[in-house]
Amino acid sequence: MKLWGGRFTKETNKLVENFNESLSFDNRFYKQDIRGSIAHVKMLAKQSILTDEERDRIINGLLSIEKDIDNGVLKFDDGSEDIHSYIEAHLIERIGDTGKKLHTGRSRNDQVALDMKLYVRDEIDVLKDLLYELLGEVLRIMEENKSTYMPGFTHLQKAQPTTLAHHFGAYFEMFIRDYDRLCSTRKRMNLSPLGSGAFAGTTYDLDRDYVARLLDFDMATRNSMDSVSDRDYLLELLADLSILSMHLSRLSEEIIIWNTDEYRFVEMDDTYSTGSSIMPQKKNPDIAELIRGKSGRVYGSLISLLTTMKGLPLAYNKDMQEDKEMSFDTIDTVKSLIKLMSGMLSSMKFNNEKMAGSAKGGFTNATDAADYLVKKNVAFRDAHEIVGRLVLYGIENKKALDDFSIEEFKKISEYFDQDIYEAISLKTCVEKRNTKGAPGLKAITEEIEASKRILESLR
């Protein structure tokens, strides 16, 4: 059934009808549409625009429609233009003329703005819960690996030794910022657009703040024209999820590298790996690769919606219907990315010996050797030069600094003494780094305690 047949004398072209419809994808927020309509009629009755009997008839009709959709008795196959017309048509079919009063003082423009906000708000809460679980998984890895030594990299070249706890601490920070961004997007969007009408409000005496309260919004929006044209909250969400996907992609990239034969820092669980159809020996990190790959489509949605919105004059334009499929796809995608990352991390094994062995190679203690000289009153720039020569000697003779004899040290600089070995041992290099945020045992223990408190404060 159409909601706007009166003015027309001809049937809509079939191609146009198919092109214009949104029921095939906006049916996913039927519950939010019904919830919004119930709040609307409660307010209409409170304001004596509907009688209490009319309100109750409409509410019961809407609830029976919701139940039948839930049970699969009602299907979205009647050719309605969108979920709003679909539900209204079924309401009129079920309860007769009273159903025709539902849309009093309302437009589909404020209705769709409301439904989408209700839907997105619910999904943000799901995303937050999933992210909370992922943060818990990251924290577990940190707690278990305070003294698991590994090389830290810059330019993907071994740089200085660190610990697995410290490395994962960086991801804890990224994901907690992601969590925070979702909270602030949710806070900013939490204003009810209902009662804005097509864009200019209405002459009925609506109580917009009452509806807002019924629907758990902080209050009603201030400007009715902005209410129906604003899609900023979707752009913010897509931006938040783009950044989150970027973080997941970086972690995936590291896992893929760590899982190669050349590194073998990790062993992916069979349940999170796949095989090759031709090479029997292969165990591929497809899931990590797909998490990395899907960031592309998430960014795509952000750019897509920004582009759709950029030329739109106020107020509502049908272009805005395009916000739905990309937002839905992004929300669905990112929900699975977070779930899969949590599962992958919880099933993955770390090869501690391989990581520690790798931390020892590659002259990762060269900075500490230079710092040793500085403590013996050599200027840092000179110390850098001396250790540079040590490294060159080491490369030429295929020796790590730890394996030099004291004579070899002294040949390059008289300042070296027996205590150099202790100063550049892997344990010293890591454990003595105790500036706030560093990998030393004292510093990382404090960081983990703080991270725990942050996580607890989210519940």
Active-site hit among 48, 155, 277, 457: 155
Question: Is 454 exposed, middle or buried (CB count within 10 Å of its CB: 0-12, 13-18, 19+)?
Answer: middle
CB of 270 to ligand ARG, least distance (A): 44
Q: CB neighbours (10 Å) of residue 307?
A: 10
DSSP 3-state percent helix, strand, coil across the chain (nearest 5): 65, 5, 30
Cβ atoms of residues 191 and 217 within 8 Å: yes
Residue number with CB closer to ligand ARG (318 or 436):
318
Question: Is 230 exposed, middle or buried (CB count within 10 Å of its CB: 0-12, 13-18, 19+)?
Answer: buried
Interface with ligand ARG includes 120 (CB under 6 A)?
no
> Among positive and negative, which fits the CA dihedral 198, 44, 189, 320?
negative
Question: Binder to ligand ARG among 35, 42, 108, 117 (CB under 6 A)?
Answer: 108
CB of 228 to ligand ARG, least distance (A): 9
Question: Binder to ligand ARG among 238, 255, 302, 320 (CB under 6 A)?
Answer: 320
Q: Which helix (H) or strand (E) holds 91?
A: helix 83-95
Question: Is 76 exposed, middle or buried (CB count within 10 Å of its CB: 0-12, 13-18, 19+)?
Answer: middle
Residue 284 DSSP one-character state: B
Residue 155 appears among annotated catalytic residues:
yes
SS3 69: helix
Residue 152 DSSP one-character state: E
Tokens of 334: 């990112």
Question: Binder to ligand ARG among 22, 80, 145, 273 (CB under 6 A)?
Answer: 22
Residue number with CB closer to ligand ARG (226 or 254):
226
Interface with ligand ARG includes 109 (CB under 6 A)?
yes
Site string for ligand ARG, 222-261 (x = CB under 6 A): ----------------------------------------
Residue indicated by tokens 């409301």: 114
Residue number with CB closer to ligand ARG (320 or 355):
320
Is the N-terminal amide bond of 315 cis, ω within 30° of 0? yes
Residue 110 half-sphere exposure toward CB, CA atoms < 13 A = 30
String of DSSP letters for 186-238: HHHH-EE-TT-TTTT--SS---HHHHHHHTT-SEE-S-HHHHHH--HHHHHHH
Q: How far apart are CA 21 and CA 4, in angstroms?
A: 14
Q: How far apart are CA 288 and CA 254, in angstroms?
A: 9
Ramachandran class of 343: left when φ > 0, alpha when ψ lies in -120 to 50, beta otherwise:
alpha
Site string for ligand ARG, 63-102 (x = CB under 6 A): -------------------x--------------------
CB of 324 to ligand ARG, least distance (A): 6
CB of 112 to ligand ARG, least distance (A): 4
- Which residues between 352 and 411 bind ligand ARG (CB under 6 A)? none
Residue number with CB closer to ligand ARG (151 or 197):
197
Cβ atoms of residues 21 and 81 within 8 Å: yes
CB of 110 to ligand ARG, least distance (A): 9
Q: Which helix (H) or strand (E) holds 178?
A: helix 164-189
Question: Binder to ligand ARG among 321, 346, 352, 445 (CB under 6 A)?
Answer: 321
- Which residues between 289 and 318 bind ligand ARG (CB under 6 A)? 316, 318
Residue number with CB closer to ligand ARG (82 or 447):
82
Interface with ligand ARG includes 337 (CB under 6 A)?
no
Residue number with CB closer to ligand ARG (321 or 346):
321
Residue number with CB closer to ligand ARG (168 or 316):
316
| Interface with ligand ARG: number of residues (CB under 6 A) | 11
Active-site hit among 24, 184, 276, 336: 276
Residue number with CB closer to ligand ARG (3 or 176):
3
Tell me the residue nearest to ligand ARG as measured from the CB.
321
Return the active site residues: 155, 276
Residues that bind ligand ARG (CB under 6 A): 22, 26, 82, 108-109, 112, 316, 318, 320-321, 324
